Amino acid sequence: MTLNFYENLSSDFIKLLEKGNEHNIIIEVGESSIKQPFKVHSTVLCYRCPYLYEEFKKSTISNDDNIRIIQKPQISAKIFDVIIKYIYGATVNLEKVETSVIFNLLMTADEFQLEELRTRLQTFLIKNKSSWLKLNFSKIYNSSFRTHFKALQNYCNDIIAKHPNLIFESTDFNTLPEAALVSIIQRDDLQLEESKIWDYVIQWGISQNKTVDDGKDFQILKNTLQLCLPHIRYFQISGENIMEKVFPYRQILDEELWADILNNSMSPNKTIASKILPPRKIFATQLPNRGYTFKITSSIIENEQATEIASWIDRKDITYKINDNPYEFNLLLRGSRDGFKPKVFWNLCDHKTSIVVVAKVKNTDEIVGGYNPIGWNSNLYHYPSETNDSFIFSLKNGNIKNSILSRVKNPSYAIYNNPNRGPNFYDDLSMNDKQSFEVYKVSSYEKSISEKTGVFPIADYEVFQIKKR
């Protein structure tokens, strides 16, 4: 029988780190103005972080006491403090740590080749921070293929297979790493028509080589797409799309393959020599035979949060169960898709009633928003609108343990129609023209929905119109 005393061992090594006794390395992190030193020991690094140990061996000896200095200006002291405590004590405390910081911690763990920590942090994010991962989907996906985040790659690919527009329609699509694109288009369950997949692959290939245009430099395009082209299901593309979409780029295909594509298009029963990949498994959208499953299309809020908002709208003391949600949430506007300028809001949402607004505050877990039953009206520019049923809110999310509901207390000034702003709940919550929301003071509503006042940059915002199902 083995008796283990890991907890005491961890505590003792943390004491060694904190006291810095007999250290022979100083690691300086942060930029010069906020540089912070950490006193560490090469013996510990040798076995717990070979990457930093190699840095130690390359470093030069300073003038006093044979101390070597390693400089890491690109790493913040906050991140490195967590990393070094993991190296010494094998513990990581993620309580009250912002999700963006946890992701940065993961990036540093990858840089330092701390495989165990890298694996555990990925699992933590997937299990506990799925909302944040979806909100920052393009960034996470791109990063996962430039690092060794296999778990995040698989997590994202499973989502993309069901919701391909998350990547293919994103502004970051053309910057997608080649390995990421190949991993997507090779999936049998990718829910996208083959002709559209072809379009996206060509778009990506051209974006990598600005010299490719209208019949020129097809060899460059062929070379760029050499790992992608084998995964296109050419024989699942209709004859019409073959001529309209594939024909203009036939020179990037092998001659034998192009001949087989043409033959198959004209004589589907004729035997061909080229490899035929199986058709993708496209799942038809069907209504359930019985019952009802509520699902919201949002990159900011989950079904549970939408159901809580529905309960507030109906003034329920007990929150609806998810599948008892009586409302459909129809997306009118998404900032990252449609734009953040006020004119976009007014073009898409003017005169719409029963409106729910949600916004994700940048680099935090905070989600704020409001409900406007009467909508915003361009005929009332620079005038308020009256309602007794509007409210603003902050939603339970991540490190935020409780939602906050604030109902209107001054109905005459519940809503304001400002052409230079987006959704506007007076001084209590409004969107400016700089991709930010503002909370200035308690005015027309019962209480503040944020601990701080001022301007809050947002990562994204969405506007829904709800209706009874």
Question: Does 289 fall in a domain?
Answer: no
**Domain match, 112 and 167 both:** no
3-state secondary structure 369-401: EEEECCCCCHHHCCEEECCCCCEEEECCECCEC
pLDDT at 216: 59
Question: Does 288 fall in a domain?
Answer: no
**Domain match, 140 and 39 both:** yes
**Domain match, 187 and 225 both:** yes
What is the count of structural domains for the chain? 3
pLDDT at 289: 42
**Domain match, 456 and 349 both:** yes
pLDDT at 287: 41
pLDDT at 213: 55
Distance CA(31)–CA(194), nearest Å, equals: 49
Distance CA(150)–CA(327), nearest Å, equals: 38
**Domain match, 201 and 307 both:** no
Distance CA(430)–CA(415), nearest Å, equals: 10
215: left (phi over 0), alpha (psi -120 to 50) or beta: left
Q: Tell which of 266, 291, 321 closes a domain.
A: 266
Distance CA(142)–CA(181), nearest Å, equals: 10
Distance CA(427)–CA(395), nearest Å, equals: 19
Q: Which residues contact 25 (CB under 8 A, 6 or more apart)?
A: 39, 40, 41, 42, 45, 56, 59, 67, 68, 69, 70
Distance CA(290)–CA(192), nearest Å, equals: 28
pLDDT at 64: 62
**Domain match, 172 and 93 both:** no
Residue 80's Cβ-count burial label (10 Å; 0-12, 13-18, 19+) is buried
Type of residue at 268: P
CA 246, 248, 251 angle in degrees (round to 5)?
Answer: 90
pLDDT at 322: 87
Q: Which two tokens stand for residue 316?
A: 């329920």
Distance CA(423)–CA(377), nearest Å, equals: 11
Distance CA(56)–CA(61), nearest Å, equals: 10
**Domain match, 140 and 170 both:** no
Question: Does 290 fall in a domain?
Answer: no
Question: Does 364 fall in a domain?
Answer: yes
Q: Which domain holds residue 254?
A: 158-266
Q: Which residues contact 34 (CB under 8 A, 6 or more apart)?
A: 77
The tens-digit pLDDT sequence of the chain (469 residues) is: 788 888 888 999 999 998 877 888 999 998 877 889 999 999 999 999 999 999 888 887 765 667 888 889 899 999 999 999 999 999 999 988 889 999 999 999 999 999 999 999 999 999 988 888 888 888 899 899 888 899 999 999 999 998 888 888 877 888 899 999 999 999 999 999 999 999 999 999 999 986 655 445 889 999 999 999 999 999 999 888 999 999 999 999 999 999 998 888 777 777 788 888 888 988 754 444 445 677 788 989 988 999 999 999 999 988 898 888 999 999 999 998 888 999 999 999 999 999 999 999 998 889 999 999 999 999 999 999 999 999 999 998 877 888 999 999 999 999 999 999 999 999 999 999 889 999 989 999 999 998 888 999 999 999 999 998 8
Q: Which two tokens stand for residue 401?
A: 């343990």
Distance CA(232)–CA(195), nearest Å, equals: 9
Question: Does 223 fall in a domain?
Answer: yes
Q: Tell which of 207, 237, 266 closes a domain.
A: 266
Question: Does 446 fall in a domain?
Answer: yes
Give the CATH number for residue 115. 3.30.710.10
Question: Does 284 fall in a domain?
Answer: no
Give the CATH number for residue 197. 1.25.40
Q: Which residues pair with residue 371 across a beta bridge? A: 356, 391
Burial call 168-200: b when 16+ CB within 10 Å, e when fewer = bebeebeebebebbbbbbebeebbbbbbebbbb
Do 246 and 199 contact (CB within 8 A), yes or no? Answer: no
Q: What is the pTM of this model?
A: 0.60
Query: Could you identify the residue written with the tokens 């001659």?
Result: 255
**Domain match, 358 and 318 both:** yes
* Closest by Cα among 84, 76, 17 to 52: 84
**Domain match, 92 and 234 both:** no
Q: Which two tokens stand for residue 263?
A: 């033959």
**Domain match, 130 and 201 both:** no
**Domain match, 441 and 322 both:** yes
**Domain match, 216 and 342 both:** no
Q: Which residues pair with residue 241 across a beta bridge? A: none
Instruction: Look at residue 441 and give its three-state secondary structure.
Output: coil
Question: Does 287 fall in a domain?
Answer: no
